[in-house]
Amino acid sequence: MQDTRDIRLAVIPGDGIGTEVVAEGLKVLDAAGIKLDTTGYDLGAKRYHETGETLPDAVLSELRAYDAILLGAVGDPSVPPGVLERDLLLKLRFELDHYVNLRPVKLFPGVQTPLGGVSSEDIDMVVVREGTEGPYAGAGGVLRKGTPHEVATQESLNTAYGVERVVRYAFEKAKSRPRRKLTLVHKTNVLTYAGDLWARVTDRVATEFPEVTVDYCHVDAASMFFVNQPQRFDVIVTDNLFGDILTDIGAAIAGGIGLAASGNVNPDRTAPSMFEPVHGSAPDIAGQGKADPTATILSVAMLLDHLGLAKDAARIEQAVADDLLERRETAATRSTSEIGDHIAARVAG
């Protein structure tokens, strides 16, 4: 926890709308009076095409020196699917030991949700998604590729070390919230080896947190409850893949991917944490000023919170909340930079 308003920030705008939304995030940080020392990194599709590089070792080690990283989005149709995701985005998460992928699912007042009859009190949870193992480990292989006898495997790797640290983080998070409820989501009845590890670790850590109510939900049921009983959830802890799926459902019920923020957090601070909107690079609307930068701005608030600047974070979140209400009331259609301007003005004012 540095608790100073000077931040050394690495910025990776990335591809597509990444550049546009990141600019608005920086605008709002600036309006908040944060003293930023930013360095941009041109990682993404362009660099890949020019040099074949996704995340060179030298860049990775440079990145370690920053207080935090702000990432826009990576991915472009011109790059073979998965290359930038795995060799850039996931590599950053794994190498910088972002074992907590923190994803709030919160319906701000005035925001339209596809769910009928729910209000903002009904949707207010945090998904603590494991970020460094599970089915994302990249383990697997292929035999007799392209033949009728092809076999492809994909392995989920789970360790007591990896599960326990994220579960403990989730308990701390649950303890700090009014409802003090934690739900483990997995598929223990089918994924018995991994599920059993998650369940045993959760049970054990639970004894250290008697004030937290714990329950368990299979991922299929949890996905259903996101839609028809979102009130059920406060803090959720889950594996990397289930967290990926649940947080997209979460984004949908909380008003869309344009509002979903996330932090790839290294709680031990052995490397910088990285903040990014949940949405992708959306090449179809890139460069048109159509992207909603709100998810990035909320991610920037999470970044400040992580660096000990809770008050500044809260101020930005409040500005976003106020702006969302205003956008609703005035039925305003605003461009990417107009949204950034409005929120920045509220933060500065």
Ligand X SMILES: CC(C)[C@H](C(=O)O)[C@@H](O)C(=O)O
Residues of this chain that bind ligand X (CB under 6 A): 85, 89-90, 189-190, 220, 244, 278
3-class DSSP assignment, residue 52: coil
User: What is the C-alpha separation between 77 and 73, in angstroms, rounded?
Assistant: 13
3-class DSSP assignment, residue 86: helix
Q: Which is nearer to ligand X, 23 or 257 (CB)?
A: 257
Rule CB under 8 A: say whether 221 interacts with its own copies: yes
- Tokens at residue 233, please? 């959830």
Mask: binding to its own copies, 79-108, rule CB under 8 A, as x and -?
--xx--xx---x------------------
Residues 6+ apart with CB under 8 A from 273: 68, 69, 96, 98, 263, 264, 265, 266, 303, 306
Is 136 an annotated catalytic residue? yes
Distances (CA, A) of 336 to 111, 275, 285, 289, 343: 17, 19, 11, 5, 11
Question: Whose CB is nearest to ligand X?
Answer: 85
Residue 195 and residue 217 in contact, taking contact as beta carbons nearer than 8 Å: no
Rule CB under 8 A: say whether 197 interacts with its own copies: yes
Q: Which is nearer to its own copies, 148 or 210 (CB)?
A: 148
Residue 146 binding result from ligand X, its own copies, none, given CB thresholds of 5 to 8 Å by partner type: its own copies
Q: Which is nearer to its own copies, 13 or 134 (CB)?
A: 134
Q: Which is nearer to its own copies, 240 or 266 (CB)?
A: 240
User: What is the C-alpha separation between 235 and 18, in angstroms, rounded?
Assistant: 29
Neighbours of 229 (CB within 10 A): 13
Annotated catalytic residue within 97, 136, 173, 323: 136
Residue 116 binding result from its own copies, ligand X, none, given CB thresholds of 5 to 8 Å by partner type: its own copies
**Pairing relation of β-strands 100-106 and 124-130?**
antiparallel
Distances (CA, A) of 197 to 165, 168, 171, 200: 13, 14, 17, 5
Is 187 an annotated catalytic residue? yes
Residue 311 binding result from its own copies, ligand X, none, given CB thresholds of 5 to 8 Å by partner type: none
Q: Which is nearer to ligand X, 101 or 183 (CB)?
A: 101
Q: Which long-range contacts (CB under 8 A, 24 or more apart) does 330-333 make?
A: none
Task: Tell me the catalytic residues.
Answer: 136, 187, 220, 244, 248
Q: Which positions touch its own copies (CB under 8 A)?
A: 75, 81-82, 85-86, 90, 113-117, 135-136, 138, 140-142, 144, 146-161, 164, 187-197, 200, 219-221, 223-228, 241, 244-245, 247-249, 251-253, 256-257
